[in-house]
Amino acid sequence: MKKTILIIITIILTISLSGCSGYDELNKLSIVTAVAFDKTDDEYELSFLIANSPKSQTSSKEGEAKTTVYSGKGKTVTEAIKEIEQISPKQIYLGHINVVIISEDIGEDGFLKISDWLIRNPQTRKKFYLLQAKDVSAKNIIKIVSPLESFPSQSIATLIESNAQSKATATSVTYSNFIGQILEKGFDPVLPSITIKGDIKDGSSEKNLETTEPESYLVLGPLAIYKGDKLQGFSTDKESQSINILKNEAKEFNYNIEYQKENISIEASKLKTVIKVKDTQNIEITVSGSGDIYNINNNIVLQDYKEIKKIEKTWNKEMKKDLEKAIKKTQTEYKADIFGFGNIIYKNLPKKWEKLENDWNDKYFPKLNINIKTNLKINATGSLVKTIKEGE
């Protein structure tokens, strides 16, 4: 079914293809669904994940991978592409790229050095997902096959979409979003990171499709922190959650707190963060939202209003502490304004921003006073009136 949809979309978007002659032209295309950027020995290594590999045109078993990866190297991205074109039996087509993965070396060297090709190429749409490879090469990321998706690129896209909705540690960033934040005044970008769990060789084998428990699979990691277009480092999972809360990217997620030396899980929802500029040295942040207690092991009387208010107070206290830690780390360790505080000053106090702009990240942002207020409410305690321990 997915193969049929892919062919139909390609025919529609490729104007030159029509009728029987169009089908003949389609067979001459290598449709790229994912791109990986790496650096090896001071050269760029570019890898294309091809959806319609020669194997997909022949009879194959149900569940087999229908992709292949072509790679090329060069002093420039253009040279690397030319090398791929020389080994590809079909004409490269870039109109269906879903994801682009960049290695840590590429990020540290500066993303804008490779972005020019993506901007200028007329075939590429600029709304594909952009991800940061962590601890592995970008090329190996696009090789991992999944039993749940026909193409690794679709598996990555589905992973980022589902996690961005249900986990506050992840976020979805398109190429256009990323470039926009780099160019925006007083704003540094972040990227979701992705890595491989298990053996890379097994994960790229078709046997990975045939097992009930894959030997290798892709996992979203913490956020990659950028200063301008250069990678500075990675946050922790807890810090990623706090960053997304502050950036209004976290709507529903699970938050664990410690209460009476036990863990309580709260399903947070409807979170909203409001940032106000008091002056160029002081920022006020208010985080509001609600949550439901859905997992508790303590011997607590859940119908006791005073007890619930104590849990609510603990939740507010712990979240405020986590948010302050995340901000402090970006101020002191990375000096990267990923929250856009400078951008808010620029929009509200443009004349004063002119004096701060050149030294914002290194001088003014690290000394910015940030006051955080949390207004979190517990709505319900789940379906149980008593905890299991209480019932006993």
All domains of the chain in start order, with CATH: 2-234 (no CATH), 247-391 (3.30.300.210)
The pLDDT of residue 5:
44
User: Is 96 in contact with 151 (CB distance < 8 Å)?
Assistant: no
Residue 46 and residue 214: Cα distance in Å, rounded?
A: 27
Kindly report the backbone phi and psi dihedral angles of residue 366, in degrees, each rounded to the nearest multiple of 5, phi listed first. -60, -25
**Among 42, 167, 160, residue whose Cα is nearest residue 101:** 160
- Could you tell me how far CA 155 lies from the centroid of its own chain? 14
Cα(163)–Cα(197) distance, integer angstroms? 17
Per-residue model confidence (pLDDT) at position 380: 66
| Contact in structure between 220 and 156 (CB atoms under 8 Å) | no
Whole-number CA gyration radius for the chain: 24
pLDDT of residue 148: 60
pLDDT value at residue 30 = 84
In order along the chain (392 residues), what is the average pLDDT of each group of 10 residues? 47 47 64 93 93 48 66 94 91 90 97 88 82 96 76 80 75 92 95 88 53 74 96 96 93 86 86 94 96 75 80 95 97 97 96 96 97 92 50 48
Q: In what order do the strands lie in the sheet with 369-380?
A: 253-259, 262-279, 282-296, 369-380
CA distances from residue 269 to 251, 300, 371 in whole angstroms, order as listed: 6, 23, 23
Q: Bridge-partner residues for 234, per DSSP?
A: 224
Phi and psi angles of residue 165, each rounded to the nearest 5 degrees, phi first: -85, -30
Taking alpha carbons only, the member of 326, 323, 327, 319 closest to residue 266 is 319
> What is the C-alpha to C-alpha distance for residues 73 and 60, in angstroms, rounded to an integer?
31
156: closest CA among 188, 187, 192, 124? 192
- Model pTM? 0.84
According to DSSP, the residues that pair with 149 across neighbouring strands are: none
The pLDDT, as a whole number, for residue 126 is: 75
Please provide the DSSP assignment of 322-375 as one string.
HHHHHHHHIIIII---TT-HHHHHHHH-HHHHHHHGGGIIIIIGGG-EEEEEEE
Q: Which residues contact residue 38 at a Cβ distance below 8 angstroms, ignoring those fewer than 6 apart? A: 44, 45, 46, 47, 103, 105, 106, 137, 138, 139
Q: Residue 200: what pLDDT?
A: 67
pLDDT value for 121: 76
Q: Please give the angle made by the CA atoms of 156, 160 and 166, to the nearest 5 degrees.
A: 145
Token pair for 295 = 């997992």
What pLDDT, on the 0 to 100 scale, is given for residue 81? 92
